[in-house]
Chains A and B, each alone.
Chain A
Amino acid sequence: MTQTPILLVLLLALSSAAYYFGCKRAFRVADGKIRKLHSLPGYYGLYVALWAALPALLILCAWLLFQGSIITRMVVSSLPESIQQLGPDRLNLVVNDIRNLVSGNIVSGQPDATMLAAAEYYRSLLSVCRNLLFAVVLVVAGLCGWFGYSKIRVQHRARNGVESIVNGLLVACSTVAILTTVGIVLSVLFESIRFFQAVPITEFLFGLEWSPQIALRADQAGSSGAFGAVPLFAGTLLITFIAMTVAVPIGLMSALYLAEYASARVRAVAKPLLEVLAGIPTVVYGFFAALTVAPFIRESGSFLGLDVASESALAAGLVMGMMIIPFVSSLSDDVINAVPQSLREGAYGMGATSSETIRRVIFPAALPGIVGAILLAVSRAIGETMIVVMAAGLASNLTANPLEAVTTVTVQIVTLLVGDQEFDSPKTLAAFALGLVLFLVTLALNFVALYIVRKYREQYD
């Protein structure tokens, strides 16, 4: 890894030199008369510089991506037969040990001769690789730079060349978004499929018991582990429901008030202040929920003679609702402002009061957009992680009582994946299955919401 920055600096120097020589050659072939050239001399320089840098950079990236796995495979195939016959997880341990030997870390147990030999082999491969990489990258940069250099003529269309390369780069950048989505889908899908090979999908979606414990011994109590996710879905929905009962009335009413009643000054102060609520990191809300709101609810509950769990769904939901208020209000504000003024004036002309106009005319007219806004807020609440991780429970509990502790999908993903994991146990894979469900549900909600909002905009445009 350490040689990469040096290599990058070298490449940068090389392409700067290429720029310089490209410019010079352009002047030379035009006998100093720039007007004879097809493009400005700088474009010739850029053309050569891009030729020198880009192919070499591509090779460098590809090399770094695959170097590790190829070296590992070569080392493994050099190991004696007896070690290669081990299962994949044991083999992994061996490879880890070899790597630790190479980097001089502590290894498990006393390394034997074969291990030392393998480590030596690994080390030699690494150094060969490093030298080879240097040579290949620099030679490719030089050759390609020379190729670009040799193409410079008076008639050569350097600007068009440079522009099409830049265009290609722009296209590549815009596909990153697509690649991200593909990456998300593939990463959760593959692990989920492995999970559903161990646990049937119907049991996962409809099972009523969730206790993702994997036994260390076969005869341990509850050794099988139960992966019925219904309690998680129920818990998520309960907390989301509480959050929405807080956020929707407050957010909607403040949007209506700020859009229809408030003076410009009040609006200028209150609107940004409300939006501060959306800018506060969720971990702060989590801390607030766990240390201020939950004890408060618990104490007021016991004052009223109610038994409130210290990690009640109510506390998490309440705080999540707080967080979502500005989400609902600013989205509905946009929607309300999009209602044409003529509708308002028509209603006032008929003698309706402001509140009647809002309730009978503006609200119905804005309803589709508001529904879209609420759906977006729901998807936000479902995917919210830190508040529930810090303030909701860990144990699954199938209940509709907001005073009890429930757990959610995101909480389980975090608890299953934080810490050391083995990637062949259903316990870890279950997190990816939950991630898949989460992704699909929020995707569907967003899709519907954006569709509704867009349709609604078209209606008044």
Chain B
Amino acid sequence: MTNPSNAQPGGATSFARIQAGMAKRRAAERRFKMLGRLAVSVGLLFLSVLLFSIVSKGYTAFWQTQMRIDVTLLADEIDPEGTRNAETLRKADYSSLIKQSMRDMFPEVSGRRDKFALYGLVSNGAAFDLRDKVMADPSLIGTKVSLWVPADDDVDMLMKGHIDRDAAEGDRRIKDNTLGWIDRLKAEDRLELRFNIDFFTKGDSRDPELAGIRGALMGTIFTLIVTLSLSFPLGVAAAVYLEEFAPKNRWTDLIEVNINNLAAVPSIVFGLLGLAVFINVFGLPRSAPLLGGLVLTLMTLPTIIIASRAALKSVPPSIRDAALGIGASPMQATLYHVIPLALPGMLTGTIIGMAQALGETAPLLMIGMVAFIADVPQGVFDPSTALPVQIYLWADSPERAYVERTSAAIMVLLAFLALMNLVAVLLRKRFERRW
């Protein structure tokens, strides 16, 4: 900085000019900084709005309205011959017993339509709960039992305040007389919000109050097991070859370019590959976790290879040199010294690849993992869906009760993702070594 007083006359004017411009420049500086802050906060705002909207829509799904009903287990209805054999007990008409108990509770209800609405207060799943209870303890037959069964999804929605009871009767899914019954049940302490265990233990269902994520979760787990057991060895082996043994030539260049490009190919294209090659050429079973796992393996392989190569690259050459120096072969140096040191990095990359596979939906749609499947899959050949696909299916369902279930399923999915990423971060923190 020169002192303005002994500067040339021309310098003085240019200094004045600079001084005059400074306010403007400082303002521009502040504006630019503000813009930057704004951009970061808009990004964070998006994130919080997204998470808030999911959580606020979905947390109620972890509770479910249950209704206490008193059922008289008439021996004539269930087991007229008194044999008590399991087949007879299984085939008995439990829903008529439940209907009878509803009529007993509201003896004044008459007329077909009203009765139908009354029966509709209880979920279709109630009969199965009753059957399970009777089959577990046949001595109950002939007595009057009191049990909690899931209420219908409309009742559930009303209890959770998702149905506006002040709306005009025509605009509301629950009519006035039904509303009266529900209020009476509530007054008699027959309706209660309880923790929704069914959500975690049941498969998909057409009745929202009975739908659970167990089937989708098992499908996802089977799919990820296939993916992990294929992509980890394949990815690590490919990375080891490319990083440690491959000669530098056209062929390895081609493989490199290929892997980088595959990492950016849209996932739906992998689904097309699965459809055309695995299903149409090799005839693998459609909708099976095995197939999903194969497709996701191909998709996550580039991620794992790239991460594993980075991990191998970070092992200093002195380790290799030391091993070679005491007479190890290159293969021994790699297998016994370089790979163990690079393993945490490779595992981190694999977990991140698995997290990617966990959230992937589009390729699974292509290979038919989108069917409605109520059974929980038992193995990698059974037809199944996956958690993200279940979210997609539920998001398409019109019932209001599916909205909260979709959000709840999303929360479960995000929790798994967070867990996986946490493990990856901890692994990196624990084993990261600066050489």
Contacts and interface: CB of A to CB of B under 8 A. Distances in A.
Given A188-B272, A280-B50, A253 B417 contact: no
Interface string B225-241: 00000000110011011
A386 B396 CA distance: 12
B289 interface: no
A283 B392 contact: yes
Contacts of B374: none
Contacts of B31: 355
Contacts of A326: 43
A255 to B, nearest CB: 9
Interface stretch (A74-82, A176-184, A224-232, A339-347): A176-184
Interface string A391-425: 00000000000000000001001100110000100
B255 A174 contact: yes
A442 B265 contact: yes
A307 interface: no
A258 B277 CA distance: 45
A276 B28 CA distance: 31
Nearest to B57: A291
A287 B277 CA distance: 31
A211 interface: no
Interface stretch (B95-103, B127-135, B145-153, B357-365): B357-365
Contact of B38 (A253, A260, A384): A253
B381 A191 contact: no
B280 interface: yes
B60 to A, nearest CB: 15
Given A176-B234, A177-B302, A435 B241 contact: no
A167 interface: yes
Interface in A353-410: 353-356, 358-359, 376, 379-380, 382-386, 389-390, 410
A9 to B, nearest CB: 16
Q: Which secondary structure dominates where chain B touches chain A?
A: helix
Interface stretch (A110-118, A125-133, A297-305, A443-451): A443-451
Interface in A91-127: none
Contacts of B391: 283-284, 287
B406 to A, nearest CB: 6
B266 A286 contact: no
Interface centre among A159, A322, A379, by most chain B C-beta atoms within 10 angstroms, is A322
Contact of B360 (A281, A329, A353): A281
Interface stretch (B162-170, B197-205, B256-264): B256-264
A21 interface: no
Contacts of B260: 446, 450
B267 A383 contact: yes
Contacts of B234: 173, 176
A166 interface: yes
A125 to B, nearest CB: 16
A261 B31 CA distance: 13
Given A188-B272, A257-B33, A354-B29, A270 B264 contact: no
A438 interface: yes
B301 interface: yes
A389 B301 CA distance: 26
A253 B39 contact: yes
Contact of B395 (A173, A252, A291): A291
A435 B362 CA distance: 13
A180 B54 contact: no
Interface residues of A, number: 92
A150 interface: no
Contacts of B246: 174
Nearest to B268: A385
Chain A at the B interface: SS class: helix
Interface string B302-322: 100100000000000000000
Contact of A170 (B245, B258, B275, B355): B245
A264 interface: no
A65 interface: yes
Contacts of A443: 261, 265
Interface in B344-397: 355, 358-362, 365-366, 370, 381, 388-389, 391-392, 395-396
Interface in A9-65: 65
B381 A277 contact: no
B32 interface: yes
B47 interface: yes
Given A173-B234, A390-B395, A432-B272, A253 B36 contact: yes
Contact of A174 (B33, B237, B265, B268): B237
A435 B43 contact: no
Contacts of A169: 237
A417 B381 CA distance: 22
Nearest to A257: B36
Given A174-B242, A325-B43, A414-B268, A353 B29 contact: yes
B435 interface: no
Contact of B370 (A187, A190, A418, A446): A418
Given A261-B33, A277-B46, A383-B267, A287 B410 contact: yes
Contacts of B262: 177, 180-181
B159 to A, nearest CB: 22
A287 B301 contact: no
Q: Most chain-A Cβ atoms within 10 A of its Cβ — which of B305, B331, B417?
A: B331
8 contacts: A177-B255, A188-B272, A261-B33, A353-B28, A390-B395, A413-B268, A417-B272, A438-B268
Interface of B: 25-26, 28-29, 31-33, 35-40, 42-44, 46-47, 49-50, 53-54, 57, 233-234, 237-238, 240-242, 245-246, 254-255, 257-262, 264-270, 272-273, 275-277, 280, 282-283, 298, 301-302, 305, 329, 331, 355, 358-362, 365-366, 370, 381, 388-389, 391-392, 395-396, 403, 406-407, 410, 413-414, 417, 421
Given A178-B258, A291-B395, 13 more contacts: A170-B241, A174-B246, A177-B259, A191-B276, A270-B40, A280-B414, A281-B361, A282-B361, A287-B395, A291-B57, A355-B33, A380-B266, A443-B265
Interface of A: 1, 65, 68-69, 159, 163, 166-167, 169-171, 173-178, 180-181, 183-184, 186-188, 190-191, 249-254, 256-258, 260-262, 270, 273-274, 276-277, 279-288, 290-292, 322, 325-326, 329, 353-356, 358-359, 376, 379-380, 382-386, 389-390, 410, 413-414, 417-418, 423, 431-432, 435, 438-439, 442-443, 446-447, 450
